[in-house]
Structure 1
Amino acid sequence: MAAPTAYLGEPVEAPPSDGISRVVFSQTSDLLLASSWDKSLHLYDAATRLPRASYSHHAPLLDCCFENDSTVYAAGLDGQVKRYDVATTASAVLGSHSKAVQSLVHLAERGLLVSGSWDAGMRLWDPRAPPGANCVAAVSLPGKVYAMSAGSERLVVGTSGRHVLIYDIRRLAGGQGGEGPEQHRESSLKFQTRSLAVYTDGRGYALGSVEGRVAMEFFDAADAQANKYAFKCHRRNENGKDTVYPVHSIAFHSGYGTFATGGGDGVICIWDGDNKKRLFQTARYPTSVASMCFSRSGEMLAVAASYAYEQGERDHPADAIYIRAVQDVEVRPKARKAAA
């Protein structure tokens, strides 16, 4: 039985009509962007849950991001990276890859956009440069890009073959990406990378796999050896059998540095990574949690409830985006008890 809507949040009006690949908040307002397999980019006002605009693309979209409240980006199966003017709905192709673009990351401090593709390539684009001269760097990777995330200093890329590549953003922006990553690691998880997010404080990253596990990693070599760990999540006993679901999304809370994981089981868990504790778990959404994002203040959580075909073709609930009010007690780390 589905939980009452109040537990899940309030749905937006006119959600995407096909699989939702990403929901992402603006960092300067309550605007929310959603990319979808319906070949459209959708913009909402999260405060009112009403649609603001929709922008068409030629193919299903796999990712999207904000440059600012006036300009947004999207990319997908056709390999094109497009830039959209929010006010006029005008669009332009910023650049392209030879295969689908899985991930986009906007580097706000640099004014650059990073795209990662199934063509085993990553590119940095400068939208201020003229067309044809706007590719700052083209980087070859050891496999298809499955996930990317950036902090202020480092960009982390997870590819096929369980490769994890860590880049110094300054070197990338300076056109030195071809010299290779700062670090090239093998994922500590045995199965395919599904999600990735850099810590709020920039010390490391959380990596989620298709096999219901999350690895907590650190950039510094000493920290990496001493403090890294992994844990199981998004598993459910069904008919006496332990069923494991992918970790589709990881989102950090800007205020506390705690983080949420969303899985194919339709549940969101909120974790205190430093204390290795689960703080909260939501009621079950109608279908898979395909993507999540905290608002800039951390007071709202956008949740894409969208079946991700973990169990193949079957009937499933319609796609929906929920705006969930976040209670402080759900995300605030609990103080450690003093030793007796």
Structure 2
Amino acid sequence: MAGLFGSQQAASASSTTGDTSKDVEIKNDNNSSIPYPSDSISDLMFSPTNDYLAVASWDKQVYIYEITGNGAALKWAFTCQGHALCVAWSTDGTRIAAGDTDGQINLVDLREVGQGVVQAKFMKVHGAAIKCVRWFQTQGKDYLATGSWDKTVKYWDLAGSTPVAVLECGERVYTMDVKNQLLVIGTAERHIHMINLNEPTKIAKTITSPLKWQTRVVSCFADASGFAVGSIEGRCAIQYVDDKDTSLNFSFKCHRQQDPNARDVAKVYSVNAISFHPIHGTFSTAGSDGTFHFWDKDAKHRLKGYPEVGGSITATCFSRNGDIFAYAVSYDWSKGYTANKPDLPIKIKLHPIIGDECKPRPNTKKR
């Protein structure tokens, strides 16, 4: 996709300050016939098989853009029954599921629809909002996991209107992620559950988050050996699943800004999104401060930090080949609904991964 971003010259390896000048915005051309998010963006996900980016918005819409060498164009869009909080692709890239505030799964099989605005199939499956959706494969079959504020995760084969299994989580599900056979669930009260999807109805291990404040996001390592946790208090933790690797666990401060009027005071911002690079195993954090950073967890080193983008970053993801980093700029609800003003930016940006931006430091193992 180099044509979209022009010439890609490697950045200086000695600089830890990243460049966003080549980032491309998916434009809202104000043409009412071409939908564009009109409210906060809650989730982003690239297709695992094509150059498609799915975008979920609080305006009850899901937008799917095709990224090409000439730009980005809307491919499909559909309306959810409630405000769309999450979106995910099936493992083969043929289906999209979105969860909403009404507890509905909204499903589109792209093999059955034309391009443009399409109709989603939907069904009420939870007693409260669905905060997270993830597809996975186990024992040769595709399943969809839905995590809700009703304190459950439900598994679906979508052959019927009832789940194939229900996992009681004890608290509201705030975030979850899947990689291979690892499912990690972050709930209220800082509980984190780890599930081996070969036994999906059994919680293999539960820990209390090593971070002292509310969990905002969990994201699995590229090799499924562990996960990262982000909190509302500008911290990130690296956690390994196997007990033998617990000595490798650590946490660090991020998304904080020094108060210019007080030497010993820092402004603290929420870590809203964490995404792992699919090839290199390095990862990004993005936050309410409007910045994103790339990190090497094995070297415990920040690779690049990027300047503020003009608003809070609410969601991020890497493309299937790791050559594009997408991020959404919009209100993150950290100050309540009354602070969501019409003049706040709503943008979808595409950052080209240039040179060694996301490559781990030399002589560090990749996990």
Secondary structure in 2 aligned to 1:297?
coil
Q: What's the offset of the Cα at 1:98?
A: 0.3
Q: What's the offset of the Cα at 1:40?
A: 0.5
Match in the other structure for 2:277: 253
Q: 1:119 to 1:314 in 2, by over 3 A?
A: closer
Tell me, yes or no, if structure 1 residue 198 matches structure 2 residue 254: no
Secondary structure in 2 aligned to 1:49?
strand
Q: What's the offset of the Cα at 1:333?
A: 1.1
Could you tell me whether the CA contact under 8 Å between 1:269 and 1:282 is conserved in 2?
A: yes
Structure 1's consecutive aligned runs of 4 or more residues displaced over 4 angstroms after TM superposition are: none
- How many residues align? The count is 324
Q: What's the offset of the Cα at 1:13?
A: 2.5
Letter in 2 for 1:194: R
Q: What TM-score do you get using the length of structure 2 for normalisation? A: 0.84
Q: 1:314 to 1:99 in 2, by over 3 A?
A: closer
Letter in 2 for 1:317: L
Distance 1:191 1:328 in 2: 36
Tell me, yes or no, if structure 1 residue 90 matches structure 2 residue 119: yes
Q: What's the offset of the Cα at 1:95?
A: 4.9
Secondary structure in 1 aligned to 2:198?
helix
Could you tell me whether the CA contact under 8 Å between 1:82 and 1:95 is conserved in 2?
A: no
Could you tell me whether the CA contact under 8 Å between 1:292 and 1:303 is conserved in 2?
A: yes
Choose which of 115, 132, 138 in structure 1 pairs with 2:161: 132
Could you tell me whether the CA contact under 8 Å between 1:8 and 1:322 is conserved in 2?
A: no
Letter in 2 for 1:102: K
Q: What TM-score do you get using the length of structure 1 for normalisation? A: 0.91
Q: What's the offset of the Cα at 1:329?
A: 1.3
- Write out per-residue CA displacement over residues 203-234 of structure 1, whole angstroms, 9 at most, x where no aligned residue: 1000000001011000011212x110000000
Letter in 2 for 1:93: F
Distance 2:235 2:127 in 1: 32
Secondary structure in 1 aligned to 2:21?
helix
Gaps of 5+ in 1: none
Distance 1:132 1:297 in 2: 35
Tell me, yes or no, if structure 1 residue 24 matches structure 2 residue 38: no
Match in the other structure for 2:333: 309
Match in the other structure for 1:155: 183
1:134-283 alignment runs, 5 A limit:
135-172=163-200, 177=201, 180-224=202-246, 226-240=247-261, 241-283=265-307
Secondary structure in 2 aligned to 1:18?
coil
Letter in 1 for 2:214: Q
Q: What's the offset of the Cα at 1:108?
A: 4.0
Could you tell me whether the CA contact under 8 Å between 2:95 and 2:107 is conserved in 1?
A: yes
Match in the other structure for 2:311: 287
Tell me, yes or no, if structure 1 residue 123 matches structure 2 residue 154: yes
Letter in 2 for 1:298: G
Distance 1:70 1:334 in 2: 36
Tell me which moved more, 85-94 or 144-153. 85-94
Could you tell me whether the CA contact under 8 Å between 1:46 and 1:323 is conserved in 2?
A: no
Q: What's the offset of the Cα at 1:314?
A: 5.6
Distance 1:291 1:214 in 2: 16
Could you tell me whether the CA contact under 8 Å between 2:38 and 2:59 is conserved in 1?
A: yes
Letter in 1 for 2:64: L
